[in-house]
Amino acid sequence: MKDYYEILRVGKNASAEEIKRAYRKLAHEHHPDKKGGDEKKFKEINEAYQVLGDDQKRRQYDQFGQTFSQQGGAGGFRGFDFSGFEGGFGADLGDIFEDFLGGFGGFGRTGARRQKRGSDISLGIDISFQESVFGGNRSVVIEKTSKCEICGGAGAEPGTGLKKCATCQGTGTVRETRRSLFGSFTSLAECSHCRGRGEAPERACKQCRGAGVLRQSQGIEIVIPPGIRDGEAIKLTGLGEEVSKGQAGDLYVRIHVLPHHIFRREGYDILMDLHLPVSRMLLGGEETIDTLDGKISVRIPELSKSGDFLRLRGKGVSKARAQRGDLLIRLYPKLPKRLSPQAKKLLSDLEKEGL
C-alpha cells in the first residue's frame, strides 16, 4: 500500500495546515503542464492529499492501514474536489496553477493584458584584429519582421481609419476554454481577428494585409566598441523582431575576431615575436618594426637573450578611460640557413674570444 505521509513528505503527527502546505509545494513542483513535470507523481500527490486532507478519510487511513483501500477510502485517484477550499479555486490554489493559467494568450489571472514584445534575433560577424583593438563601424542588411512602411504599423490602407473589432467588441480579448486534468477552464485569450488591438482596419493595408508588420530587409549600422573580445556580443535594443503594437525585440551581434599573422592578445596587452640577427641581439641597436599604430623604431639592448621582452607602453588594446594596454615584443635570434667562409672565420675568432 502507498504511504501517503511519505508521498507528501510529512510526519504522521503533521497538522492539517502542514499537510496542506506540503501538498501545494509538491503539486506546484510536479504539475505536468510545467517543464520537467511528472504526471504520475502529480496524481500520487493528489491521491495522498484527497485522503490526508480530509479529516474523516485520514482517520480511516490511520485506522485501517493496509486495508484502507478496501474500506471505501481513497480507492485511487478519481479527480479533485475543490469544494473544501475557502474562497473557491483562486484563493488557495492560485499559486499552484499560476504558471499554466496565468499565461494563456498573454493575459494574467486578473485578465489584464500584457504588452506584446517582439522576438530577439542574433547574427554573427567577423572583424579584423585591428577593428577589435580600435573599434569601428559595420553596415549589415538583415531580414526581419518590421513595421509596414506604408501604413506605419496601423494595418489600415492610407487615408482610411480603424473601427472597433466586431469579434472581440473592442476588448482585444476573447474567452477561451481549455481542458486539463482538473476539468475545463475558461480564460482570456488574444483576439485572432484584431491581434489583440481591439481595433480592425476599415480597409486592410495592401502591403501588409492588415497585419501592420511584414518580413522585409533592413539595413543596420553596428558600432564596434574598442577593445571588444572574440565571442562577445553587442546588444542593439529595439532592433529585433517588431510587432504592430508593442515593444520590439533586441538584436544581438556576436563578434568573431579573425586571427592576425603577427599579433595576438593577452588581456589588454598585445604580444608579438621579433626575430633578429645574432649580431643585433649581441651588439644591440635600433630596429624598425610594424605595429598597429604604424612603423615604430625600438632600441634593442646589448647582449639580449632569446625570450627577452621589450615593452612599449600604450600600444596595446583600448580599455576604459581612453587608456590602452602595452605592446610586448619577444626577442628571438634569427639563425642563418648557411654560413659563408668569411662568416665561419669570424665565428671562429669569436669562439677564441670565449663567445
Q: Is residue 87 part of a domain?
A: yes
Cα 106 from Cα 145, distance rounded (Å): 20
Cα 146 from Cα 129, distance rounded (Å): 33
Q: Virtual CA dihedral for 94, 99, 100, 105, nearest 10 degrees?
A: 110
pLDDT above 70 as % of the chain: 83
- Looking at the structure, do residues 140 and 241 belong to the same domain, yes or no? yes
Amino acid at 137: N
- Looking at the structure, do residues 270 and 306 belong to the same domain, yes or no? yes
**What is the predicted pLDDT for the residue at 141?**
92
In this structure, of 22-36, 97-111, 151-165, 331-345, the range with the lowest mean pLDDT score is 97-111
What mean pLDDT do residues 221-225 have? 93
- Looking at the structure, do residues 270 and 315 belong to the same domain, yes or no? yes
| DSSP symbol at 213 | E
Cell digits of residue 97: 496553477
Q: Is residue 115 part of a domain?
A: no
Model confidence at 182, pLDDT cuts 50, 70, 90, reads low
Domain limit, last residue, from 208, 224, 257: 257
- Looking at the structure, do residues 130 and 248 belong to the same domain, yes or no? yes
In this structure, of 29-43, 85-99, 112-126, the range with the lowest mean pLDDT score is 85-99
Model confidence at 78, pLDDT cuts 50, 70, 90, reads very low
| SS3 of residue 130 by DSSP | helix
Q: Is residue 31 part of a domain?
A: yes
Q: 146-183 as b/e, with b when 16 or more CB fall inside 10 Å?
A: bbbeebebbbbbeeeeeeebeebebbbbbeeeeeeeee
Answer whether residue 260 shows pLDDT above 60.
Answer: yes
Look up the CATH number of the domain holding residue 334: 2.60.260.20
Q: Is residue 111 part of a domain?
A: no
What mean pLDDT do residues 206-219 have? 86
Domain span at 37 = 4-101
**What is the predicted pLDDT for the residue at 105?**
44
Domain limit, last residue, from 42, 68, 101: 101
Query: pLDDT per residue over 14-31, tens digit each?
Result: 898 889 989 988 888 888
CB under 8 Å, gap of 24 or more: what pairs does 344-348 form?
A: none
Model confidence at 221, pLDDT cuts 50, 70, 90, reads very high
Q: Is residue 68 part of a domain?
A: yes
**What is the predicted pLDDT for the residue at 129?**
95
Q: How many Cβ atoms sit within 10 Å of the Cβ of residue 232?
A: 14
- Looking at the structure, do residues 16 and 72 belong to the same domain, yes or no? yes
Identify whether the C-beta of residue 196 lies closer than 8 Å to the C-beta of residue 173: yes
Query: pLDDT per residue over 267-315, tens digit each?
Result: 999 999 999 988 888 888 999 999 999 999 999 999 999 999 999 999 9
**What is the predicted pLDDT for the residue at 50?**
87
Question: How many separate helices (H) and strands (E) can be counted in the chain?
Answer: 8, 15
Q: Is residue 116 part of a domain?
A: no
- Looking at the structure, do residues 330 and 228 belong to the same domain, yes or no? no
Q: How many Cβ atoms sit within 10 Å of the Cβ of residue 56?
A: 9
Query: pLDDT per residue over 81-97, tens digit each?
Result: 333 333 333 334 444 44
- Looking at the structure, do residues 128 and 244 belong to the same domain, yes or no? yes
Instruction: Give me the chain's average pLDDT, please.
Output: 80
Per-residue H/E/C for 289-351: EEECCEEEEEEECCCCCCCCEEEECCCCCECHHHCECCEEEEEEEECCCCCCHHHHHHHHHHH
Residue labelled with grid coordinates 522576438: 119
Look up the CATH number of the domain holding residue 127: 2.10.230.10
Model confidence at 205, pLDDT cuts 50, 70, 90, reads confident
Q: Is residue 107 part of a domain?
A: no
Q: Specify the number of domains making up the chain.
A: 3
- Looking at the structure, do residues 304 and 251 belong to the same domain, yes or no? no
- Looking at the structure, do residues 182 and 231 belong to the same domain, yes or no? yes
Answer whether residue 70 shows pLDDT above 90.
Answer: no
Answer whether residue 1 shows pLDDT above 90.
Answer: no
- Residue 126 CA, distance from chain mean position: 21
- Looking at the structure, do residues 247 and 147 belong to the same domain, yes or no? yes
Q: Is residue 245 part of a domain?
A: yes
- Looking at the structure, do residues 203 and 321 belong to the same domain, yes or no? no
Q: Which residue has the higher pLDDT, 335 or 331?
A: 331
Q: Which residue has the higher pLDDT, 1 or 238?
A: 238
Q: Which residue has the higher pLDDT, 247 or 192?
A: 247
Cα 307 from Cα 202, distance rounded (Å): 78
Model confidence at 103, pLDDT cuts 50, 70, 90, reads very low
Q: Which residue has the higher pLDDT, 131 or 340?
A: 131
Domain limit, last residue, from 226, 257, 288: 257
Answer whether residue 256 shows pLDDT above 90.
Answer: yes
Model confidence at 163, pLDDT cuts 50, 70, 90, reads confident
What mean pLDDT do residues 134-160 have? 87
pTM reported for the whole predicted model:
0.57
- Looking at the structure, do residues 169 and 238 belong to the same domain, yes or no? yes
Identify whether the C-beta of residue 187 lies closer than 8 Å to the C-beta of residue 105: yes
